[in-house]
A and B are shown apart, each in its own frame.
Chain A
Amino acid sequence: MSSSVEAITVLSSDGDEFKITVSAAKLSKPLNWMLEDVCFSDDCDEVPTIEVNSKTLVKVIEYCEKHAPRANSGASDSDAEELKKWDIEFMKMDVKDILFHILMAANYLHMEGLYDLACQTAADLMKGMTVSQIRKIFHIKNDFSSEEQEQLRRQHPGCSFD
């Protein structure tokens, strides 16, 4: 970490300023490109905006700062184990926050690790849900007629649909 104490400032979509260390910012491809861009030279005052709301950006930066040392230098097995536990704690949030904020931000910032973690966590949370719970989360209207629904059930005799 000693060589990467340098930090940059970014704006959230809500207009709040956040600091992120250079090594952590490298976890995101677009941020990494920005680092190499001219506007980050010393005589440039422009603060780049990241189209992620403040609440989500805090989480994303927290993830980056935690994962940056390992991403940059590699880590031992015990570190990896520790990081896995940290990830589980980190993802303890509402499924809607994961789906509509973390996942969208990870996708937008091209953060493979966070994207994969968020997809897996969302899947784990969704797998036991009922159809109506899913519709509620995603704001989906049931567009099947009762005959169509019956037909779907008939295709899988004995499978549970509730």
Chain B
Amino acid sequence: MKIREDHNIRYIPYDILANILRRLPVKSLIRFQCVSKDWENLIKSPSFIRDCLHHTSRPTPLLLLSFRALTPRYRFQLLDPRSKQVLEIQNPPLIDSCRDLDIVGSCNGLVCLQVFNEKYALSLPCSSNNSGMSTSNLLLWNPTTRQFRKVPRTMEDLNARHRFGFGFSPIDNDYKIVKLKCCFAFNPAQVYSLNSGSWEEVEFENSDGKIWISSCKNVAVNGSVYWLGGKQGESDDYDFNSLVVSIDLTNLVCTSIPSPDLGSKRSRRAEIILYENKLAVLAITKSRIHLWVMEEDTCASRGRWTWTKKYTCSFCSERLYPSLLNEVTIWKNKIVYRPNGVYNEDAEGRTRFCLLDLTTNELKEFVIKNGRYDASIYTYVESHVSVAHINHREL
């Protein structure tokens, strides 16, 4: 039982220091990079960043809200649904002058934005002639560390409508953006890797030429990105959500799996969503909302896809029905959405949100000051994941 003789020296082993630091809020970590080069190297090391994300005392997720406004055109806020505390975030560059903006995804504290610079036509799944379409930029952004990176453009930005997906590949330890044509033939597609800082043209295996992706909304979990999609040539012309299309970010394999039972086709409305870090689909009918969850073990063994209906909630009143235009997310055990039509603002013009508890069916509302129409909602976890390329971290 002999250890270091002198306990009075101010020395702390690396693993003990790392264990303390990974419990700190991101703001403190950013500050403490300035302590010394050793501390900077520790805080910026990929293994430390990974520990921070998986540590049990990691902070509860927040909601990232983007609002369309007058000046600047978009504003972002972080909301803690427990305290109702709202934090205004400083916009990254390019946002203030943009025409339009989409959040492609939010993953481990990084947010991928698509920023439209000029005139921009409505996105229809199969419109092929987009000669008048404007250019857009992709931006990777960490709202907490305020780092951002403009993703370089690919060659054929002007030719076709694209769907984007953003996610993390744990095997490659890399963040990737997938860009594919939304209709019928995904190949060739492009994949951007944050580690390499460049796009690569890829051919997905198993890509079925008749499948299309019906909604921009994508979720990323366990190294894959998922969209809702459909298949050409089936009896239903409006077969929007009969499939879930997935791209494995590590092996670049494309898979399509049947969606869960979404009810009658006419009232079929679905959102792809993350629930407890699992792939899930919300099926929304006139009076009910069902949550279908893909259990992890069935998801991993390709071909054996089983959806489990985890919860069914009902809407007590029509006014609290989710709006069709706005996005839905799940925060902890609650579905967060904006209510339908005129109810999405209160008398003073503040933006109204609903929190529907899946386990109790209890519905709570909250309003946010200065909000405007067209707010989209994402769950967001604070992190200090860097947007710099791994090969030259200087940014």
Contact = CB atoms under 8 A, between A and B. Distances in A.
Interface string A147-160: 00101100111111
Given A123-B20, A156-B147, A50 B1 contact: yes
A80 to B, nearest CB: 17
Pairs A-B, 9 closest by C-beta atoms: A123-B23, A139-B10, A127-B28, A131-B34, A140-B36, A51-B3, A119-B19, A122-B20, A119-B20
A101 to B, nearest CB: 6
A83 interface: no
A107 interface: yes
A61 to B, nearest CB: 16
A138 interface: yes
Contacts of B40: 152
Contacts of A152: 33-34, 40
Interface of B: 1-5, 7-10, 12-13, 16, 19-21, 23-25, 27-28, 30-40, 57, 90, 145-147, 394-395
B28 A160 contact: no
Nearest to A160: B31
A128 B27 CA distance: 9
A131 B146 contact: no
Contacts of A123: 20-21, 23-24
B395 A155 contact: yes
B36 A144 contact: yes
A156 B10 contact: no
B57 A104 contact: no
B9 to A, nearest CB: 8
Given A99-B20, A104-B16, A158-B146, 19 more contacts: A49-B1, A103-B16, A103-B20, A107-B13, A119-B16, A120-B57, A123-B20, A124-B23, A126-B24, A127-B25, A128-B28, A137-B10, A138-B12, A143-B36, A151-B394, A152-B34, A156-B147, A159-B27, A159-B30
Contacts of B35: 131, 134-135, 138, 140, 142
A141 interface: yes
Contacts of B3: 51, 108
Contacts of B34: 131, 144, 149, 152, 161
B20 A100 contact: no
Contacts of B90: 157-158
A144 B28 CA distance: 18
A22 B341 CA distance: 68
A159 B28 CA distance: 10
B146 to A, nearest CB: 5
18 contacts: A50-B1, A53-B7, A100-B7, A103-B20, A104-B7, A104-B16, A119-B19, A126-B20, A127-B24, A127-B25, A129-B28, A131-B34, A140-B35, A141-B36, A149-B34, A156-B30, A157-B90, A157-B146
A13 interface: yes
A134 B32 contact: yes
Contacts of B1: 30, 34, 48-51
